[in-house]
Amino acid sequence: MKRRKFIKKSLLGGAAITMPFVLPSGRLFASSGNRMADHVVFVAFAGGVRQQESVLQRYLDDSQAYPSAGNIMYNILDGAPPTDKIVYGTTNYVNGDTPIPKMLSQTLQQQGTFFKEVNASVVGHYAGVNTLLTGNYMFTQGLRNKPLTPTIFEYLRRLTGEKATKTWFIGNGIGNSIPLLDYSTHSDYGAQYGANFLAPIVTFGNSGDKHLKNAKVYHPEEELDPMYKMKYFLDNVWYSQGSALPNIGNTEEEKLQIKQFVRDMFQKKDSGSIAFPPISDSGDLQTIGYACEVLKRFKPTLTVIYLSNVDGCHGNFSSYLRSLHRADHGVGHLWDFIQNQVPEMSGNTTMIVAPEHGRNDDPNGIKDANAFYGYDHSDSNSQRIFNMMVGPGIDSNLSIGNENNKVGDIVNIAPTIAEILGFKNDIVNTGLLASNQSFFDLI
């Protein structure tokens, strides 16, 4: 009898210890690791960047057979800029003749760890960003479909219990199915763990001015409260027989904060006080400015910023060089803004910068106004990218790999973000990643 009682108690006790419990956030267990930083900002330096004009600093020397080499990304990379045939800057006398002044006193390369030659097996825009965000190659997935495996936003929210407004995906537009990447269709994850997507140059652009700016401001208690009570009644009746709608799980308070943010941005835009970089003459740079505002307002745990102006390289190489130079300027401004304008994130944020894929070795035959050839993305040169990491606990001034020695893969980025935010073991235990290695494992 005593033995039976003992076994019963042991089983109950054991079950209590081992049984997972579901927290309100939907997570099953506490995250198992320590954070290296409380915030990650990942800049998908996207649109297809050639190693030759970025890491290898060959400017026109390689691409256009014109003997002018140099570094046009001098906030991110060490190296002197080119001195001949300058087309990438702002315009003084002729198009692009004036390089944008350097933002950072120390390059990100000096401040962080730089993987110079990384593999990216997919070379399409949507597939590339999809892989960056999911840590999985989506070989069977086309455009206009949500990711099949969870995004890093969903892992973060489900495995660590983060709120919706702590995860942001900021795109420089709504093309290329980019808005679909805020969450996946995976049955264990999905909308309720998604990120808040924002394409600010659309929201706060001409269309937004016309259709969003004059939104009524309803009183929270006197108007919104009864309005929501009626809506909840209607929704409850509907749920008894109808289908549920995807919902990323912003609480009412968070929704109010987002609406307030939208209102405030229109006002700041009118007063010219958006935190744009010193030069903000492109969609990418405008996006960076609004991303700074999101960081300042919400202090997100994870922010992914998608830039893609360099995609103009297909038919306008000069424009590609300008976009590359501006993306570097934007990244410099972003890092400077985090360190100096957002005290809660200063010294407590890791920034990762990586392209979604590269570009071809050979030109496509399309000449621009400077008689420069354009480049597509389809050959093995397009599978070459870099990865830069800077932040607390990350080795400074460390470069790994070279043109003849690839180290790392694009699928290592998702576990790297998880490791920085202290849930790498949890994400690995899901068994859903293509690689369990982070970039830290490759140092």
Partner 1 sequence: MHIFRKFIFLISFLLLFSCNKEEPVYQLNQINSSSYNANKNKLKSTMQYISILYANLFQTALSSNELVEITNCIESIGDKEVAHEIVLSNFMNSQQVLIPSDSLMRSDLNHFIEETYKRFYVRDISEAERKFFIDFFESNPNVSSEMVYMAFALSNEYQFY
Residues that bind partner 1 (CB under 8 A): 164, 169, 174, 179, 182, 194-200, 202-203, 206-208, 210-218, 222-223, 226-231, 233-235, 237-239, 241-248, 250, 255, 258-259, 262
We find the least distance from the C-beta atom of residue 132 to partner 1, in angstroms, to be 18
Nearer to partner 1, 259 or 406 (CB): 259
We find the least distance from the C-beta atom of residue 299 to partner 1, in angstroms, to be 18
We find the least distance from the C-beta atom of residue 291 to partner 1, in angstroms, to be 14
Nearer to partner 1, 14 or 220 (CB): 220
Nearer to partner 1, 6 or 239 (CB): 239
DSSP string of 15-81?
A: HHHHS----TTS-SS---S--S-SEEEEEEE-S---TTTTTT--HHHHHSS-S----S-TTTS-SPP
Nearest by Cα to 250 from 262, 241, 259, 242? 259
CB-based contacts of 65, cutoff 8 Å, min separation 6: none
Tokens of 167: 């995860």
> Is 325 in contact with 89 (CB distance < 8 Å)?
yes
CB-based contacts of 124, cutoff 8 Å, min separation 6: 357, 377
Nearer to partner 1, 29 or 266 (CB): 266
90 DSSP assignment: B
We find the least distance from the C-beta atom of residue 309 to partner 1, in angstroms, to be 17
We find the least distance from the C-beta atom of residue 256 to partner 1, in angstroms, to be 9
Nearer to partner 1, 6 or 238 (CB): 238
Nearer to partner 1, 4 or 211 (CB): 211
The dihedral of CA 63, 67, 69, 72: what is its sign?
negative
The rounded distance, in Å, linking the Cα atoms of 378 and 122 is 9
Nearer to partner 1, 197 or 440 (CB): 197
> Is 438 in contact with 418 (CB distance < 8 Å)?
yes
Nearer to partner 1, 308 or 412 (CB): 308
Nearer to partner 1, 182 or 419 (CB): 182
The rounded distance, in Å, linking the Cα atoms of 333 and 95 is 23
We find the least distance from the C-beta atom of residue 70 to partner 1, in angstroms, to be 37
We find the least distance from the C-beta atom of residue 250 to partner 1, in angstroms, to be 5
We find the least distance from the C-beta atom of residue 188 to partner 1, in angstroms, to be 20
Helices 125-134 and 413-420 pack at an angle, to 10 degrees, of 40
In sequence order, what are the beta bridge partners of 385? Answer: 118
Q: How far is CA 71 from each of CA 27, 82, 314, 418, rounded to the nearest angstrom?
A: 46, 6, 21, 32
> Is 238 in contact with 184 (CB distance < 8 Å)?
no
Tokens of 34: 């320590």
We find the least distance from the C-beta atom of residue 246 to partner 1, in angstroms, to be 8
We find the least distance from the C-beta atom of residue 267 to partner 1, in angstroms, to be 15
> Is 77 in contact with 57 (CB distance < 8 Å)?
yes
272 DSSP assignment: T
> Is 392 in contact with 350 (CB distance < 8 Å)?
yes
Nearer to partner 1, 259 or 367 (CB): 259
Nearer to partner 1, 287 or 438 (CB): 287
We find the least distance from the C-beta atom of residue 17 to partner 1, in angstroms, to be 38
Look up tokens 């087309």; give the residue. 87
* Rg of the chain over all Cα atoms, to the nearest angstrom: 24
Helices (H), 85-172: 108-111, 125-134, 152-160
We find the least distance from the C-beta atom of residue 258 to partner 1, in angstroms, to be 5
Nearer to partner 1, 261 or 373 (CB): 261
Q: Residue 350, CB half-sphere, CA atoms under 13 Å: how many?
A: 25
